[in-house]
Chain A
Amino acid sequence: ETGVTQTPRHLVMGMTNKKSLKCEQHLGHNAMYWYKQSAKKPLELMFVYSLEERVENNSVPSRFSPECPNSSHLFLHLHTLQPEDSALYLCASSQRLAAEETQYFGPGTRLLVL
């Protein structure tokens, strides 16, 4: 599955570090998403960039900051994270306003905050 790629695949960081997750989609889509997957919880939508509009889940802490420089690239900037932020972070993309807007996912970045 190479339509949506994510780097790094694994990341360990301390609470005072600053790091960024990267996502790239090669499907020509016009919407990209960040999800958080924690153990025993449903996938949580964090951010959506769709047709140059940004939508965010109001429950996401400000220590997570997304950036979408163009329709193919999406970043998630991380700073002063907490141990409870350890999770799998999944990126997805879709074609908005198409007949169906199926989301295609990347492999995820497994994040561990110490």
Chain B
Amino acid sequence: GEDVEQSLFLSVREGDSSVINCTYTDSSSTYLYWYKQEPGAGLQLLTYIFSNMDMKQDQRLTVLLNKKDKHLSLRIADTQTGDSAIYFCAESSNSGYSTLTFGKGTMLLVSP
């Protein structure tokens, strides 16, 4: 079956880089996503990567994909206190309709 695993918690200091890791099991995933959820809010799409890419950069965000190991990471450069939130990794499935399988989320806490 499909499963997405993430570490539950990460704490960094403001200005440092943050790296959030994710592993997934569905080798047929076409897209992998990172969503951000702030307290009391819905999920905000941060970025996504197509499965035939190994890296995508978008301003302070860098996504690395190791398809062989089914490992996805999100690096946030120069982390700010406003980056404190829960980050969800999700993989798309090819089951005939568009569905996502989410991890349980990584809580990122950025201290001043």
Contact = CB atoms under 8 A, between A and B. Distances in A.
Contacts of B101: 42
Contacts of A92: 43
Contacts of B44: 1, 105
20 contacts: A1-B42, A6-B42, A43-B43, A43-B100, A45-B99, A48-B97, A53-B97, A96-B98, A100-B31, A100-B48, A101-B31, A102-B48, A103-B45, A103-B98, A103-B100, A105-B42, A105-B43, A105-B44, A106-B42, A110-B40
Given A92-B43, A100-B50, A102-B48, 4 more contacts: A42-B4, A42-B101, A53-B97, A90-B42
Q: Is the interface of B mostly helix, strand, loop or mixed?
A: strand
Interface residues of B, number: 23
Given A42-B4, A48-B97, A102 B31 contact: yes
Interface string B95-112: 001111111110000000
Contacts of B33: 102
A21 interface: no
A101 B42 contact: no
Interface in B8-52: 31, 33, 35, 40-45, 48, 50
Contacts, number: 58
A35 to B, nearest CB: 8
Contacts of B88: 43
Contacts of B104: 40-42
A71 to B, nearest CB: 14
A55 B97 contact: yes
B80 interface: no
B103 A50 contact: no
A59 B2 CA distance: 16
Nearest to B103: A42
Contacts of A41: 104
B61 to A, nearest CB: 15
A25 interface: no
B100 A45 contact: yes
B42 A107 contact: yes
